[in-house]
Chains A and B, each alone.
Chain A
């Protein structure tokens, strides 16, 4: 049971480039989340999904896009990378039920130069 898998683990981008951060989970969880973690700022929610075909904005969605075509996958897209998007990105999932804890991937460290 792999849990939540994020790829890549590290990436350096140039300003203006685009890329997709991949997230997949094998626990059949309906709910999936993307967070960014900046020093001293805690985890900020970018986008989330309550099921395949449904996505919603979180607290800091600008500059990002997501899709949820399957239960397993929840990719995060950066269209025009900016230095402000340098961060560590975490994907998480949880099963149905508001009292369920979230399960996190190992993160993707992204630097934009």
Chain B
């Protein structure tokens, strides 16, 4: 079975400090991994993905994520947080063979990021 865990319901950081939002996954075979951000009453916005290649993936708005196969993790990071980064963040996974199942993604429960001035 495929699953995603976001162990922190909430992450609080000060503006200018680095931020990390954690994600671990379980999937048979090679994983496709994704991060999304959601602002209040809005749809999810795609941030970045890992499909293959370099373990460090760069995405929108200065975010990056590191794929760690041995730890089955895909943590989201940003070197310097902005107040405007405050939002709900979702990690998602599916197996590389999952297109035969409609390309379904398994989403984590979300982590609320709060960046204080």
Same complex origin of A and B: no
